[in-house]
Structure 1
Amino acid sequence: MLIITEGYPIKFIQTHPVKDNSCHLKSYVFKFFSTNLKLHYIVRAEYHKYDFFAIKFYAKKDRGSDRKYFNILNKGDVANILVTCAKVIPLILQKFPNASFGFIGSRTIDINSNKIESYTNNQRYRIYKHHLPQLIGLETFQHISYQTASSYGLINKNIEDISKHESLIKAMIINTYNDILEID
């Protein structure tokens, strides 16, 4: 499926400092409104060592939930939401021209349908893997897929040694996020 939507307007809100002595240094917070779902969304670009940003998003109504990244709405607005989240990338590149990015496909936990998805090769990961090359293109980033961790990486091609940079980012992510599965 080819994505032809333009997504929604996105607005920068603020930065949040992180003071936990990890490689996660601060978060850039954005918001948008899904006119199809009538829901506000929050997009977090979590800035880490090595100019790496983890892109995360959730419906604002779920902000207090431990499951905010796992909830599934089944409302059919995936393309608009993904396109809007991807709009953060050029905004970040203005300030960090060597930035690399990552998306982790959170597994679905849907208590209404009693569905708990596997961590590996989950639905959100498959959406990222299929659509991010189209949305982002191949000129600026080396696209790297990690099926076992349901993760998708965009390593900036401005980096001299992409393979070494990818290894540094992988090690940093594993050390920063103890709950992430091993990245192959």
Structure 2
Amino acid sequence: QEIAGGNTRVSGGGWFRNNSPEQAEVFLRSLNGSRTVAADVVKTWAAETAKNSDWLRGLGATVRQTGNYHTEPEFLELDGSDCYAGMDTINGEMGQSLLYEFLLAALTDRGVEIRFDTGAEDLIVEEGVVCGVRVNGPAGPALIRASGGVVLATGGFAGNPAMVQDFLPLEDYVLWGSPNNT
């Protein structure tokens, strides 16, 4: 629990304000260069990032654009960069784990159980629908049934050099973010 939150906890806590899902698709493809990403992933990312600020407001967050950082997109020369409308943050402030703390409080306020140090071993699928997960954690193995869905908050793998090499064949890889994202 003391190292939970991954990059959300250690970053500035801001997110991309996307003013055009159509242009965001073009921008993500431009950012990827010669590496292809599945069209449905690109489309979903572009559509859903445009909703992030409203989603957080719906959870009760005070969302404001930060005028001090990331006021222009990186890689302005790439097609689609005009989708970038700035960076939103909690209260218009960067850092201090504000986004992580807000999200943690939103879960707690809604009675959502958080199981730290708990590995998902298998999804329970019935009639094509995920309805639970088999886990193993500090309290031992357990079966958790879910009625509204299962969220696997894995944090990515940027802190795992072997996975980075296997899935992101990058030269001169430098870890940016939490070393706990393994």
TM range (shorter): under 0.3
Q: Larger RCO: Structure 1 or Structure 2 (Cα < 8 Å, ≥ 6 residues apart)?
A: 2
TM-score (norm: length of structure 1): 0.26
Report the structure, 1 or 2, having the larger strand content: 1
TM-score (norm: length of structure 2): 0.27
